[in-house]
Amino acid sequence: MLSNLLVTKQKVVLIIDELNRERIALKFIDSLLHEQGQEAGTIKTLPIGNLRHVSSYEALLNECGNNNNNNNQTGDAADFKAVPVTVAGVTTKAEYNVILPTLADLLCYQTPAYIFSFINRLRQSEHVRRVFLWASPQHLQHHHAQYILAGCEYLAELILRLETETLLSLISRKPGGGVSNKRYSCQVTKTEFQVTPLDGPATTGSPKQPSPESEQTAEPASSTFKIELDEDEVVARNALTLPYERTSEPAEGSIIYTPDADDDFDDEDPDEDLCI
């Protein structure tokens, strides 16, 4: 199920939809959360009618914080029916899943700078467990839509791209710095979203540099040249000394001097008076 891949420890989840499913964005994310047993009380949304006012964004942040504090107090008061549950004197945090309106709707009412800042604040809030943002490139009408989308991808830790009806890709950034890019085939019905990993180079983990050896052996199937060497050829190649190597063979440097009969060798140092 897709929810197994998306509802993880990663905090900021960006869904890029190429299929024009924006009208069901909220339902889509809500269903993912419910599949993973997230209760309705932990899901927070921003109604589209309130997007005009900055205060409603602040209210959402405050609401998460306040509810959390209130819940902690009720937990301390040993109200065991309330969330969070107190287990052995340790109160678990009530953390929220925040489903943001679609990026197109957010951009309709707020500036990109404010949206980025708001997502960042949600990311840093300890009361927020996950933030979901839906972006459909076909619906983005901002002049710099591509840059804004790239900015959202930069902020996100998990990027789901719904490429076609049967194909999706998932980029996951782990806290340790590892990045994985996997592709899945998918089967979508009205109530189910099944995914199957696709085999192939795209399913490997972080992109690795190919080794020089593997580069050497890589030969295009259509090539008419024989590039590979067999063992005898390798030995013969190594034994061969090329002409430029012969000329540049290192020789010991020496000065051969044959003194004449008249040469007068003075044993004294001629520079003695210089006191060097």
Partner 1 sequence: MATSVLLACGLNEQKLPGFVHISEESNVDGSFLISCILGQRLRISNAGTLLVCLQHHYQHYFNAGMRLGYNTNIFQGKTLNVIDVLSDMASEGLACKWLRTPDGLSLTEQLVEDIRAQVESNYANRNSYTILIDNLSILFNLGASKLQVQQFCQDLASLAKERDNLTVITKLSNSDIYQPTDNNVAKLGQLRIQVVRLKSGVFREVDGKLLIERVLDEGSYACEEARKEVLYKVNDRNVKVFTPGEVGVKV
Interface residues with partner 1 (CB under 8 A) are: 20-24, 27-28, 30-31, 48-49, 52, 104-105, 107-109, 136, 138-141, 145, 188-193
H/E run at residue 239: helix 231-239
Question: How does strand 158-164 pair with strand 179-188?
Answer: unpaired
Q: Measured from the CB of residue 62, what is the shortest distance to partner 1 in angstroms?
A: 25
Choose between 46 and 122: whose C-beta lies nearer to partner 1.
46
Q: Measured from the CB of residue 192, what is the shortest distance to partner 1 in angstroms?
A: 7
The long-range contacts involving 78-84, CB below 8 angstroms and separated by at least 24 positions, are 83/39, 83/41, 83/42
Choose between 96 and 193: whose C-beta lies nearer to partner 1.
193
Q: Measured from the CB of residue 113, what is the shortest distance to partner 1 in angstroms?
A: 15
Those residues whose C-beta lies under 8 Å from the C-beta of residue 41, and which sit 6 or more positions away, are 83
Closest CA relative to residue 160, chosen from 177, 135, 138, 125: 135
Q: Measured from the CB of residue 27, what is the shortest distance to partner 1 in angstroms?
A: 5
Angle at 204 between CA 202 and CA 209, to 5 degrees: 95
Cα radius of gyration rounded to whole Å, the chain: 34
Choose between 137 and 151: whose C-beta lies nearer to partner 1.
137
Choose between 104 and 131: whose C-beta lies nearer to partner 1.
104
Encoded amino acid at 82, one letter: A
Q: Measured from the CB of residue 148, what is the shortest distance to partner 1 in angstroms?
A: 13
Choose between 128 and 170: whose C-beta lies nearer to partner 1.
170
Would residue 87 be called left, alpha or beta, if left means φ above 0 and alpha means ψ between -120 and 50 degrees?
beta
Report the distance separating Cα 8 and Cα 11, nearest Å: 8
Q: Measured from the CB of residue 5, what is the shortest distance to partner 1 in angstroms?
A: 14
Question: How does strand 167-173 pair with strand 86-87?
Answer: unpaired
Choose between 145 and 171: whose C-beta lies nearer to partner 1.
145
- In b/e form, how buried is each residue of 219-246, taking b as 16+ CB within 10 angstroms? eeeeeeeeeeeeeeeeeeeeeeeeeeee
Choose between 28 and 132: whose C-beta lies nearer to partner 1.
28
Q: Measured from the CB of residue 50, what is the shortest distance to partner 1 in angstroms?
A: 11
Q: Are 167 and 187 in contact (CB under 8 A)?
A: no
